[in-house]
Amino acid sequence: MPLYEHILVAVDDSDISRRVIKHALTLAHSKARISLVSVVALDPLLHADFYAITPAIGEYFKIAAEQADQRLNQLQAEMQAHGLVVDTHVVKDQLPAAGILELADQLEVDCILMGSHGRRGIEKWLLGSVAQQVLTQTLLPVMIIK
């Protein structure tokens, strides 16, 4: 297995993300750089004519971004305790796959590590698969943890 120099680790506040972090700790070597990312997703209905943003929705996104930042800071401290160089990024106002892919390009990472919620059927059709979109839209190696 190649040694990756810079790994983008996409996480949310799910149990799957806990497993992703464990794999990142195993995959990373002492000189690897880890970039943790959490995407506060843009609502795909935001620009629909029948959908107007309300103050409550704006407040929700603000709180979600703050919580994502706090979570990333906790994970950063845990990973730094293992001797790793870790930075954090909260991506806002983008769909998850697009935010992950854009950040991967900006940071020039050489691997993406993320989880898959394993949605099926109507749930997958309605919500989509971020992991599937990332996997099919990049030339980078992508490790998907279930």
More confident residue, 52 or 80: 80
More confident residue, 23 or 47: 23
pLDDT of residue 118 exceeding 80, the answer is no
The pLDDT, as a whole number, for residue 85 is: 95
The pLDDT, as a whole number, for residue 68 is: 95
Question: In one letter, which amino acid is 134?
Answer: V
Q: Which superfamily does 6-145 belong to?
A: HUPs (3.40.50.620)
More confident residue, 51 or 30: 30
Report percent pLDDT > 70 for the chain: 81
Measured in degrees and rounded to the nearest 5, phi and psi for residue 88 equal -125, 150
Report percent pLDDT > 90 for the chain: 58
d(CA 61, CA 53): 11
> Helix, strand, or coil here: 6?
strand
pLDDT, the chain, mean: 85
Task: Please state, in angstroms and as integers, the Cα–Cα distance from residue 133 to each residue in 25, 61, 91, 117, 136, following that order.
Answer: 24, 23, 17, 13, 5
- pLDDT (tens digit per residue) in 5-38: 999 999 998 889 999 999 999 988 878 899 999 9
More confident residue, 106 or 123: 106
- Taking a C-beta distance cutoff of 8 angstroms, is the pair 44, 95 a contact? yes
- Taking a C-beta distance cutoff of 8 angstroms, is the pair 8, 35 a contact? yes
H or E element, residue 87: strand 85-94
pLDDT of residue 98 exceeding 90, the answer is yes
The pLDDT, as a whole number, for residue 127 is: 45
pTM over 0.85: yes
What is the rounded average pLDDT of the residues 48-55?
55
The pLDDT, as a whole number, for residue 50 is: 47
Question: Quick one: CA dihedral 94, 100, 106, 107, positive or negative?
Answer: positive
